[in-house]
Amino acid sequence: MEYTVISNKKVCGKVKDDKLTRDDILSAGSNVEFLLAAGHIKAANAVKVTPAVKQEPQEPQQEEVPVFNLDNEQGDKQPWQE
């Protein structure tokens, strides 16, 4: 299988947009799965998939502020509340 370098870093002596084979990667002592997961290479025959539905940007949600009850469990006031 062929792979294309998509990283700005050299991969097995190849630069961006160069082609690599699985044997090139293995003979250099590297791991195909790692390079794919790290975003350094992609399959040469990979098709770019665009989502059918565009997601609208979501408005940031307001953060809830916790409310504390200053009365103790019996309902008595604390010394600083008197």
Task: Confirm if 22 and 1 have CB atoms less than 8 A apart.
Answer: yes
Q: Is the pLDDT of residue 67 over 70?
A: no
60 DSSP 8-state letter: P
- pLDDT tens per residue across span 34-44: 999 999 999 88
Q: Are 63 and 70 in contact (CB under 8 A)?
A: no
12-35 pLDDT, tens per residue?
A: 888 999 999 999 999 888 888 999
Residue 32 lies in a domain: yes
Total domains present in the chain: 1
For residues 71 and 36, the model is more confident at: 36
pLDDT of residue 54: 75
pLDDT at 52 over 80: no
28 within a domain of the structure (yes/no): yes
* Domain span holding position 6: 2-43
Residue 39 lies in a domain: yes
